[in-house]
Amino acid sequence: MPACYKTCLLIDDNYIDNFVTRKILENSKFAETIIVYQSPTDAIKALSDGGIKPEVIFLDVRMPQMTGFEFLQEFEAIPMDNKEKVKIFMLSSSLDPTDMSNSLNNKYVAQFLHKPLTQEALEEICT
C-alpha cells in the first residue's frame, strides 16, 4: 500500500511524544518522509528557507519556546507555494476547549487531535 502523503512534518517539543508519534506514522506508512522538529522556530526556518515542503504538519499546541498558535502566525507570513494546501493537524493532550476552538478557527488547521495520535485517526486523515 502506498503512503498517503509524500512529506509529513511533526513539530513537538517533547522527545518521547515525537518518538511515539513518529513510530505510529511509520508503522501506518502515512508518509514517504517524516521530518521531526523539537523546535518550532527551527521548523519555521526550514519552511522559510524552502528546505522542506510538507503536505501535512502535525503541530503540538503547547510548547514553551513558541506555542502552536504562535507557529501558525509565523507560518502565515512564510512565502510558500501551495501553502493553503498544507494540512495542519493540531496535537494536544490539553482538554482546554479554548485550544480546540482556536485551532478550528484557523484557516490552516484541518483538525484538532488528542494525543496520542492513533491509527484510527490516521486512517480517517488518509481517506
Per residue in 41-54, pLDDT tens? 999 999 999 989 99
Checking 42-46 for CB contacts under 8 A at 24+ apart, the result is 43/9, 43/11, 43/71, 44/71, 44/74, 44/75, 44/78
The structural architecture, per CATH, of the domain 5-126 is 3-Layer(aba) Sandwich (3.40)
Q: What is the pTM of this model?
A: 0.94
**Mean pLDDT across the stretch 85-111?**
90
Render pLDDT for 7-43 as a digit per residue (tens, 0 to 9).
999 999 999 999 999 999 999 999 999 999 999 999 9
**pLDDT (0 to 100) of residue 1:** 62
Question: Per-domain residue ranges for the chain?
Answer: 5-126
